[in-house]
Every structure is written in structure tokens, then in C-alpha cells.
Amino acid sequence: MLMKYVSLFSVIILLSLCEVKSDEISLPVIGDTLSGVVSNQQEVRMGQAWLKMFRSQVKELNDPLIKSYVENLIYNLATFSELSNPKLEIVIVPNETINAFAVPGGVIGLHTGLFDYAETEDQFASVMAHELAHLSQRHFARRIEKSKDNSITGLASLLAGLVLASTLGGDAAMAAITAGQAYSVENQLRYSRSNEKEADRVGLDTMKKAGRNPRASAQMFEIMLKQVRHFGDRPPEFLLTHPVTENRLADAKARTLNEPRKFFSDSIKYQIIKARAKVLTSKDLTNLESVYRNALKTGKDKSFGAQYGLSLVLSKLNRHDEARFIMDQILNARSEKIALVYSDIELDINASKMSNAFDKIKNAFKKHPNNVALLSLRASAFWETKQYQSAALDFRKLVIDRPNEPFYWYQLAEIEGLAGNILNVHLARAEYFIRVGAFDNAEEQLTTAKAISGADFKTGAVVRQRLTDVEKMRENVEKI
């Protein structure tokens, strides 16, 4: 399986390196030797190519509320980072292991398990700041410059490891990589340590500039070290590719010795998202209910997050009155939070109280007219009440706002079918397949759309151009 991934990644990455558009050619920055090795434009194309492959293999968490929260947090950090290109793609994987990664070209990914381990928002942010530092310091380009040989295969193997870690789990992924002999894990880790040290320093600077708790980095290292000791010789994949040592922890503490002692309040929104991620990925809601009730009884957990989590669990177990009672208590204390407004509406939809849901959606849009999560929720409410044309209009807005997210294209295709818009079904499916690298399937959908469009010259021209784009993609792959 590993060698299959390596082969696919190698082809698509080589293709990305070869495709340099004339209007993207730029002179290297004076003093920047890396742009002569791999340009920023090449990194972007490589990252986008990898993202298509990743999404074709790995299930994403497509919850609009969690996605919006993570995007907002990372983009806020990015404004205080050394990143020259602020355009980022965020990938969230529903996996209980601790993992985060940065891929050249602005792709940042994380497993939902990270929410479990990071106790506060600043601890979570410290990991994201670290990953942003890998991008801003162009560690991938540095690796190519240093190794000179077999860099494409090395990157392909590393990215294949991320796919395996997201699907099989950390232990199985690292075992597969080792057995495949695709690249030397030992050398990869040894090389990464210098990158990790720099990313620690740059990430810490980002945390300071963003006004976040600089000591959160050391706190997160302590949490990770506990995991290293717990797993022994087979730690999670994240801790193998991001080695955490006592020295690294000591360095993090030393860099904040002179920082003034200051109180950093924890984020209520983070506790909401942390609990939400736990509930949405839980395989045993009944047990999770007991966990939250025990936490509220003993005070061992953040009470607000446990309340919120319990409300969601009860809603998913169809115990709607109990869920509503707890949610109303939460709203009385923190009704202004958009995450709670969203969840309040969500509970009504789950309980089939659609009139209440639409009234609340209307009021919420008055305060938050451009909120993507609310737009997605309204589209789902229209879908639930069989208002398919209205749902299709909302999903069309979503793909305009989030054109690179396959999930919204998939949903649009489904709702266009229910609305009877057959041409749009094939067009949306084609865009979905393009975004997951399934070019043959995309061509099939576009060919059908071309036949359906008939005498519609404008639509036909758009379809023919898209067919040309897909054909070029396939031809270039076959040439490699």
C-alpha cells in the first residue's frame, strides 16, 4: 500500500513541478537561495496536488462550526507570523490520535485528537503557530536544497505516511513506512530536529505577537512528553515526526523566563469546540454521556464544556427535551456566542422543530450576515424541509465562498438532483471529482453535461473549456 501511495504522489508532485505558467515566473528574492531550488509558486502547486490526493484517500471532518473556528484561529495567527503568502488550506481529520502537519504551499492539517490533548486554546494555538513556522521558514525547500537527491520520493513517502496515519492510525502508519523501506525514518527524524527547533522559536514569537500565552508551548510539550512515556517505543506518528525531548521542553521554558507573569483567561469558544469535536467523533455516545455527567458531578472538567458536550450527546441520542433543558441553561449564561447560536438552532433541527429553527436562523443572519457556518446550517434546514431549490441556492453560495472544499460540491450535486436540476448535478459532480483528483470521473460527468446542455451556447462553452482542462491534466500525468 505504501509504494502505491509513493508512486501516485511522485507522479502528481513531479507534474506540479513541471507546470510553471509564464505569468507566474518571478525572479528570486535577493539573498533567498531557496527560490532557485523550489519557487513559492511550485510549492503552492505541489501542496494543491497533494491535497487532492489526500482528500481522495482520507475522510475529513466537515463540520462548519469546527472548520470556521480553526480557520479563524489559524488566519489570526498567520497575521502575526512570518508567512509571506497568507492563503491557506485547512484540513481536519476525524481521528482520535494527536497529529498536526504542514505541507508546502500553505496546507495545514490536524487530527481532532489534538483537541483532546490541548487543554486550553493557547496550547492548541501553540501547535498551529509551530506548523505555520514550518511554512514560513520553507523547511521543505530547505530539505530539498540540503539533500539534492531523491527529494521527490522523500516527500512522497512523507506525505504517504500522513495518509496512513490518518486512516490506519499512528502505529500502523509508521510500521508500514518502515516495512516499505521507501525512505530512512532515522535520517528523516534526524534532519527534522533542526527544523523543529527553528519552528519552536518562530512559533513562540508568533504567539507573543498575537498576544497569546507564550508559556502554552512549554505546557503543550509537557503534555506530549507524557504521551511519549505512555506509548514507550511506539509513540504516535506525530511524536515521531515532531520529536519531543526534555531539552526541547527546557528550551521552551528558558525562552519565556523573562516574560512577565500575566493571567490568560481560557476561551469559552475553545471549550465548546473541544467538546463538539469529541461528540462528533465519538463511537460510544452512551459512555460519553457518563463521562460528561461524572465530570460535572466531580468538577474534574471545564463545567461549561461538559455541559455543552452533554447537550449535544443527548440530542444525538434523540433525548431532545433533556438536551434543550441543558442548552437553555447555557444560553442564559453565554447567549452571545455564535457557536451557541448555531448549536441552539441545530438542536431545534434535530428535534424537527423547524419553525423555531427558521425563526432563529433569520435573527442570527441579521447579526452575522456573512457567516459561512450559518449559511451551511440554513442550507441543511432547507434540505430537511424539502425546500430543495432554496437549499441549492445556499449551497451555490457556499461553493463560491469555499470553492476548494469537495464537501460543498458533493452536497450541491446531491441537492441539485433533488431539485431536478440535472445539468447542475453533473457540473457539481465534475468539480467534486476534480478536487479529489479523480479526473476520469470528472471527464465523464462533463461529457454528460455537454450532451445535456444542447443548444445552450454559454453553458456549452464553459463545459468544453472544463473538458479541455481535465484532458490536459490527464495528458500531463501520462507523460510522466
Evaluate whether 124 touches 117 at the Cβ level (below 8 Å).
no
Question: Does residue 149 surpass a pLDDT of 70?
Answer: no
Distances (CA, A) of 272 to 269, 303, 338: 5, 11, 11
Q: What is the layout of strands, in order, in the sheet containing 100-103?
A: 89-93, 107-111, 100-103
* Of 346, 308, 354, 302, nearest in space to 327 by CA: 308
Report if pTM > 0.95.
no
Q: What is the mean pLDDT of residues 101-107?
A: 87
Rounded to whole angstroms, the Cα distance separating 365 from 113 reads 32
And the C-alpha cell for 74? 489559524
Q: Is the pLDDT of residue 13 over 60?
A: no
**pLDDT classification of 36: cutoffs 50, 70, 90:** very low
Whether the predicted pLDDT of 302 surpasses 80: no
Kindly report the average pLDDT of the chain as a whole number.
Answer: 81
Domains plus CATH for the chain? 2-254 (no CATH), 280-479 (1.25.40.10)
Looking at residue 457, its pLDDT comes to: 85
Q: Does residue 295 surpass a pLDDT of 50?
A: yes
pLDDT, mean of residues 455-470: 90
Quickly state the pLDDT bin for 196 (edges 50, 70, 90). confident
pLDDT of 232: 57
Q: How far apart are CA 334 and CA 345, in angstroms?
A: 15
For residue 182, name the pLDDT band (cuts at 50, 70, 90): very low
For 95, the 3-state DSSP assignment is: coil
Return the CA Rg of the chain.
24
CA 21 – CA 64 distance, rounded (Å): 34
CA distance 118 to 104: 25
* Digit-coded pLDDT (tens) for 428-438: 999 999 998 89
Q: Does 226 have pLDDT greater than 50?
A: yes
Segment 113-137, tens digit of pLDDT:
999 999 999 999 999 999 999 899 8
pLDDT digits (tens, 9 = 90+) for 379-427: 999 999 999 999 999 999 999 999 999 999 999 999 999 999 999 999 9
CB–CB of 378/393 below 8 Å?
A: no
Question: What separation, in Å, do the N-terminal and C-terminal C-alpha atoms of the chain show?
Answer: 21
pLDDT at 45: 76
pLDDT of residue 163: 66
**In this predicted structure, what is the pLDDT of residue 122?**
96
DSSP letter, residue 22: G
- Of 19-23, 191-195, 215-219, 283-287, the poorest mean pLDDT is in 19-23
